Amino acid sequence: MKTKVLSLALFFIFLFVSCGSADRRSNGNSMQSNDTNRPEWTKIPEKIEKSDVVLWVGESSESKSEEDAVNLAQQNAFAKVSNSFGVSVKSEFKSREVEENGEYSYVIGVKSSVTGKQIEVKNYHIKDKFTECLHSKKEGKKYNAFVLLSIPKTELARIQVEVNGFGVWALKSDIPEAADKIRELFPAFNKKGIKLNQEIKFEETGDLSAVSATSHKAFLLKIEVKETKSEEYSGEFYSIIVVKAELFNLLTGETINRWTVESKGAAYSRNEAVSGGITKAVQEIAEQI
């Protein structure tokens, strides 16, 4: 009798361990879970902000395997991260872990305005996991899972920069109206997801990493506008204008594009000739963006 009792006890211990963190049974065909034994962190409604990190809880229910349950819970956590940036993840989109040169990142359902690709969370930590095994006579074992995802606020700030697509711009010119003319380029950049919403001094643009650190922006547009030649014939003024522009990705330090345009303005005053030359150059660049 003692041997039978001991054998039965060992069988249930084995069954408990094989089903993960917690074991739930049902006497009928329905499955029920009891959250009284779940860790407190599983009850986080949305997210918790700490001083340097933000925590999300991902969950899944009634998966066929414990591994699937954990993977789905992790996807659910990253979907919540995507939602925090105002992006609802489509049901067919699957967030996934990727590896490159031994470094892991997680692709989420948010598109970068910088690259046009899905954003990768490059710095994250799964702080905890919890699974529970459910039983029913009809369906057998099913698994619920929870994961506690931690992402540093610095990483979230980097992602926000990519999502927003904000940029700074800097102008070098001796022509007073050049700044207003250059702003006419902004709608063309906006259509590409580049929002130039801050002007900085041209002399501050030499170090791209410094610009990125101080501005917290994704792009830098550097522009030089100058008049290279001005002539007058029979009361009409002619002005040769050269506009050079460079667009940089501040997150990678790469040059996205360069433009150099020379145009000619003509009018019965020099100022109008200069203005017309800049307008033509700006229009030509806008067509190339």
Q: What is the pLDDT of residues 264-289, one digit of tens each?
A: 999 999 999 999 999 999 999 999 98
Tell whether 170 and 251 lie within a shared domain: yes
Please check whether residues 258 and 137 belong to one and the same domain: no
What pTM was estimated for this model as a whole? Answer: 0.64
Classify residue 3: in a domain, yes or no. Answer: no
Mean per-residue pLDDT of the chain: 81
Give a three-class secondary structure readout of the chain.
CHHHHHHHHHHHHHHHHHCCCEEECCCCCCCCCCHHHCCHHHHCCCEEECCCEEEEEEEEEEECCHHHHHHHHHHHHHHHHHHHCCCCCCCCCCCEEEEECCEEEEEEEEECCCCCCEEEECCCEEEEEEEEEEEECCCEEEEEEEEEEEEEHHHHHHHHHHHHCEEEEEEEECCCCHHHHHHHHHHHHHHCCCEEEEECCHHHCCCHHHHHHHHCCCEEEEEEEEEEEEEEECCEEEEEEEEEEEEEECCCCEEEEEEEEEEEEEECCHHHHHHHHHHHHHHHHHHHC
Q: Are 33 and 132 in contact (CB under 8 A)?
A: yes
Domain boundary among 126, 161, 196: 161
Evaluate if residue 46 carries a pLDDT over 60.
yes
Kindly state whether residues 76 and 27 are assigned to the same domain: yes
Q: How confident is the model at residue 84 (pLDDT cuts 50, 70, 90)?
A: confident
Chosen domain end from 129, 161, 193? 161
Residues 94 and 37 in one domain: yes
Whether 65 and 152 share a structural domain: yes
Lowest-pLDDT choice from 40-49, 64-73, 133-142, 243-252: 133-142
Give the SS3 label for residue 162. helix
Q: Does residue 283 sit in the same domain as residue 181?
A: yes
Residues 279 and 199 placed together within one structural domain of the fold: yes
Based on the fold, state whether residues 140 and 230 are members of the same structural domain: no
- Give the model's confidence band at 92: pLDDT under 50 very low, under 70 low, under 90 confident, else very high: very low
| Residue that finishes a domain, picked among 161, 177, 211 | 161
Residue 241 sits in which domain range? 165-288
Q: Is there a single domain that holds both residue 122 and residue 216?
A: no
Most confident of 11-20, 78-87, 155-164, 248-257: 248-257
More confident residue, 24 or 268: 268
- Band of the pLDDT at 87, cuts 50, 70, 90? low
Q: What is the reported pLDDT for 230?
A: 92
> Is 2 part of a structural domain of the chain?
no
User: What are 276's two structure tokens?
Assistant: 């017309």
**Quick one: pLDDT at residue 203?**
94
- pLDDT score of 115: 63
Strand 166-173 relative to strand 195-199, pairing: parallel
Q: Do 181 and 271 belong to one domain?
A: yes
Mean pLDDT of the region 177-191: 93
pLDDT at 99 over 70: no
pLDDT value at 29 more than 70: no
Q: What is the CATH number of the domain that holds 213?
A: 3.40.50.10610
Domain count, the chain: 2
Total H helices, total E strands in the chain: 7, 13
What does the pLDDT read at residue 104? 56
- Least confident span in 85-94, 103-112, 151-160, 177-186: 85-94
Task: Please check whether residue 63 lies inside any domain of the structure.
Answer: yes
Using a pLDDT cut of 70, give the percent of the chain over it. Answer: 76
Q: What pLDDT is attached to residue 91?
A: 38
